[in-house]
Amino acid sequence: MAKQREALVTNIFTADPSAHVFDDKIYIYPSHDLPHDGGDDDEGVEYAMEDYHILSMDNTDDATPCIDNGEALHMKDVPWVSKQMWAPDVALKDGKYYLYFPARDKQGIFRLGVAVSDSPVGPFKAEDCFIPGSRSIDPAVFKDDDGKYYCYNGGLWGGQLEKWMTGSFVENPDEIPADAAALGPLVAELNEDMKTFKAFPKMITILDENGEPIKAGDEDRRYFEGPWMHKYNGLYYLSYSTGTTHFLVYATGTSPEGPFTYRGRLMEPVIGWTTHHSIIEYHGKWYLFYHDCEISKGINHRRNVKFTEIFYNEDGTIKTVFPYDHK
């Protein structure tokens, strides 16, 4: 059993970590929780983030400090944003770093934006408008072995994924029946410019052990938010949060666009409502980055990023992480 590190930084609250290795150094791209005394709801009103701070570590040793490199982008510098700059991700191409982020536009609809920098820690300059055809939250960009880049995203409830079931935005959509196929994350290949999609994003299908789509009422396994893609031994691993049941789970497939077959739980619930993560390989070991509300004693919008090593079984499944077994 791997030992989990304590919170990487405590000078600010951080969540939703997207970790990457650039030039043998680990960079973490989290959202930035702002403390407040307001309420919360199923639409995520409590998550009032306005900017991004980028974290970095020279290695994974316990003695190695994690550095907060300061503000890299603020919503006041993004013309189309009205509020709530949530969980981001970054991709590197041809010496440029592309920061992908969700936020509400002036009409209150979640879109995905992109900002560019010559440095992995920014500052980043945002495009004047959101990515055409983008919707919902939680972008995660994956570079495949053939050099193609894919953007995954989507979240239920506050993430507005249900509101797009007809192909257009519907403020109050019909509830999805429990025995209907669950919604999945969206995926779109990025163009060479890394700022637009090659085609309109399509929804990924996640199957059960019998090859049938997982149902909307199967809250232990159905997709809710926070997609992440990685590749291990030639197999694609789509991991995600189940939301209401607070599990991190994963499914595998032979194509980056799916379909994927559910394989099991990646991590048991942490303290706090949300679960959002990333997975990287570093020096031959694999690591899971995540957040919890342990320091704030369960206050959902005061989270802190952590990480732990993960391990694969011979059949390609991942050993489930129990986040507090090291205590």
Active site residues: 16, 225
Neighbours of 38 (CB within 10 A): 8
What letter would DSSP give residue 140?
A: E
Q: Which two tokens stand for residue 320?
A: 């489930």
Helix (H, G, I), strand (E, B) or coil at 221: coil
Residue (of 286, 279, 237, 245) closest to 262 by Cα position:
237
Residue (of 75, 153, 74) closest to 112 by Cα position:
153
Task: State the amino acid at position 231 in one-letter form.
Answer: K
Q: Label each residue of 248-303 as H, E or C.
A: EEEEEECCCCCCEEEEEEEECCCCCCCCCCEEEEECCEEEEEEEECCCCCCCCCCC
Distance CA 139, CA 154 (A): 7
- For residue 241, the number of C-alpha atoms closer than 13 Å in the C-beta half-sphere is 23
